[in-house]
Amino acid sequence: MPVKKQQKTVINPYGTTIIEDYERLYKEFGIQPFKPLLSQIPNPSKYMRRNIIFGHRDFDRILHAIKARETFAVMSGIKPTGEFHLGTLMTAQEVIYFQKQGAMAFYCIADIEAYEDNNISFEKSRQFAISNVADLLALGFDPKKGCIYRQSKEIRVKDLAILFGRGATLATMKAIYGERHIGLYLAALIQAGDILMPQLQDFDGPKPTVVPVGVDQDPHLRFTRDLARRFRGKHNFIAPSSTYHKMMRGLDGSPKMSKRNPMSYFTLGEKPENVKMKISKAFTGGRATVEEQRKLGGVPEICPINEICAYQFVENDAAIVEAYQDCKAGKLLCGEHKAQTIEHVLNFLQNHQEKRKGFLNKATEIIESGN
């Protein structure tokens, strides 16, 4: 069965992830709290400052490398099953953040996983990959200081997966991922190859590597860390570090944005009128009437409007705190807050969509170059 701890805490990269209480992940899954490290980080990202990155494994190693200006790598990627949405945006920005802190950056287009998990053909995922890479470049990824590749074209990743096959039994795979078809177990081995490829001699050998991901991906990290230890003798791997961000709730108030419900999320390529409509209709933590809200205040803790502003569209930390406090005090009403949010989001999307047009040729070149 997938990793499951009591009711309402389920972490499964190939299924449903439900997190009711992030604190429990520290005790039950061995994830370490991120907050105690915050004051030591020279230039923390907004996700770090806002407690959106809530946990880590061995981030101390990365912190040391940043402070000592030693070589380290960042590795993450995207499953090319569609356009960039707010979840993939977050991961891309985390990769770019570490690249700017000096990391060698690796961004994987997980087309083998897209085939095995979502039955997306390689031709279809190639088209999504071009679009996704254009988004990544528009967000600021520097391809001269990084490596963008497709799993299906990267022989080093596939070679590592073959090697790692000897380090995993069927019982291990079932314990981590549940009963799945063999292709998904293969995809998990390939992902372990993705995570450890930055440490091969072709990329100057072993080095601390951070993998910034949503907490639903933690089983891949635990599996890869175990493989890194098992194959240390051959490659001298350093167990990868990771950071975990919280899962953004759906605009409809559901625990997670989901492609199954288009009203729960929007993509970066979506038409402004669609995005406006989705935000206007979004669930909020507001009260039934204006009078009640003025009297009792809203509940920003359960509100997706509060979340999309904090996670993504409001850069100023003080403005986030002010909106939170004004909501609690009943000074800010949902209609007003939604209107402000729509303005922030549409400004971002307009700028981004304009920029990404200029990167489509470069993205095609990267994907067609066989990387």
Nearer to ligand SF4, 50 or 235 (CB): 50
Site string for ligand SF4, 231-270 (x = CB under 6 A): ----------------------------------------
Q: Which of 240, 268, 285, 366 forms a contact with ligand SF4 (CB under 6 A)?
A: 285
Decide if residue 305 touches ligand SF4 (CB under 6 A): yes
- The nearer residue to ligand SF4, 238 or 303, going by C-beta atoms, is 303
Is 224 or 341 the residue whose CB approaches ligand SF4 more closely?
341
Residues within window 333-362 making contact with ligand SF4, judged by CB under 6 A? 334, 337
Q: Which of 332, 349, 363, 367 binds ligand SF4 (CB under 6 A)?
A: 332
How many residues touch ligand SF4 (CB under 6 A)? 12
Residue placing its CB nearer to ligand SF4 in the complex, 239 or 327: 327
Which one, 332 or 342, has the nearer CB to ligand SF4? 332
Q: What is the SS3 string spanning the chain?
A: CECECCCCEECCCCCCCEECCHHHHHHHHCCEECHHHHHHCCCCCHHHHCCCEEEEECHHHHHHHHHHCCCCEEEEEECCCCCCEHHHHHHHHHHHHHHHCCCEEEEEECHHHHHHHHCCCHHHHHHHHHHHHHHHHHHCCCHHHEEEEEHHHCHHHHHHHHHHHHHCCHHHHHHHHCCCCHHHHHHHHHHHHHHHHHHCHHHCCCCCEEEEEEHHHHHHHHHHHHHHHHCHHHHCCCCCEEEEECCCCCCCCCCCCCCCCHHHCCECCCCHHHHHHHHHCCCCCCCCCHHHHHHHCCCHHHCHHHHHHHHHHCCCHHHHHHHHHHHHCCCCCHHHHHHHHHHHHHHHHHHHHHHHHCCHHHHHHHHHCCC
CB of 293 to ligand SF4, least distance (A): 7
Query: Quick one: which of 11, 239, 327, 363 contacts ligand SF4 (CB under 6 A)?
Result: 327
Q: Is 298 in the site for ligand SF4 (CB under 6 A)?
A: yes
Closest CB 322 distance from ligand SF4, rounded Å: 11
- Region of 32-40, 147-155, 159-167, 301-309 interacting with ligand SF4 (CB under 6 A): 301-309
Binding mask 197-226 for ligand SF4 (x = CB under 6 A): ------------------------------
Would you tell me which residues interact with ligand SF4 (CB under 6 A)?
284-286, 298, 300, 303, 305-306, 327, 332, 334, 337
